[in-house]
Amino acid sequence: MNDWLDVGSLSDIPQRGARTVTRPGAPDIAVFRTADDRIFALVDRCPHKAGPLSQGIVHGHSVSCPLHNWNIALASGEAQGVDKGCTPTIAVKVESGRILLAIPAELAAAA
């Protein structure tokens, strides 16, 4: 079961930018806005060396990890190209200009 969490308005995140959602006792979540105003959310850890994806460069529907330049697909969390690994995705929706994240119970309880 998911709980929807309001994390702010669409205008709070610049195009091709990110925002970090921090919750006590749970992994940080990176919320991304693409140039075409799509919103995606991933656990804020690259599958390679746990780099903070929220600090990476958003291009198209991907983000480049700031540590070793791995490209991660925003829709699936999968590493692209020859790199292998996956970052968990978080369901997201925009309603009336507000960004809502579906926080899975296992992430809400994770430390």
Q: What does each C-alpha distance from 60 to 43, 46, 73 come to in angstroms?
A: 19, 18, 9
CATH number at residue 61: 2.102.10.10
Phi, psi of 103, rounded to the nearest 5 degrees:
-95, 110
Q: How many domains does the chain fold into?
A: 1
SS3 94: strand
Give the range of the structural domain holding residue 10, as residue numbers without chain letter. Answer: 2-109
- CA–CA dist 23, 6 (Å, integer): 13
pLDDT score for 15: 96
pLDDT single digits (tens) 17-45: 999 999 888 899 999 999 999 999 999 99
pLDDT single digits (tens) 79-105: 999 999 999 999 999 999 999 999 766
Widest Cα–Cα separation across the chain: 39
Q: pTM for the full model? A: 0.89
